[in-house]
Amino acid sequence: MTAAELRRETRLRAGNRCEYCGLRQEDSLMSFHIEHILPKQHGGASVLENLALSCPSCNLRKGPNLTGIDPDSGEVCRLFHPRLDRWPDHFRKESALVLGISAIGRTTAWLLAMNSEEQASLRGE
């Protein structure tokens, strides 16, 4: 698949929503990123199974991180993986907030600052 085909397929699969926080592309002034779930610097390939659509906020905060600290337990925990994990198993929406309902969800929501004032305002559903 060409790079353009990978970008198109990634956007289609995600329904033009950030695969981490759920923000819709049309609700953001900035173009969403095609991000490597397993970052290139950790051996992640540019293949459809390793790509996710991410809003700029989530992508920039995730960076090359694969783990974070669960804010409840203080334990190291892996981050949400859009190809391996089901969103509803780890998060739930409460108005414009994204709440982590598992260690993975809490860690990811905290590290990516999904409920910052700006992010919640943009989601404002």
Could you report the per-residue pLDDT of 55-86, keeping only the tens digit for each?
999 999 999 999 999 999 999 999 999 999 99
Nearest one of 125, 85, 83 to 103, comparing CA atoms: 85
* Burial class of residue 11 (count of CB atoms within 10 Å of its CB; 0-12, 13-18, 19+): middle
pLDDT at 29: 83
pLDDT surpassing 90 at residue 122: no
Q: What is the mean pLDDT of the chain?
A: 93
Residues 81-91 have pLDDT tens digits of 999 999 999 99
Per-residue burial over 43-62, b if 16 or more Cβ lie within 10 Å, else e, is ebeeeeebbbbbbbbbbebb
Cα–Cα dist 82/96, whole Å: 20
Token pair belonging to 49: 């199974």
Cα–Cα dist 107/89, whole Å: 14
pLDDT at 47: 96
pLDDT at 28: 84
Domain ranges of the chain: 3-123
pLDDT at 45: 96
pTM summary value: 0.92
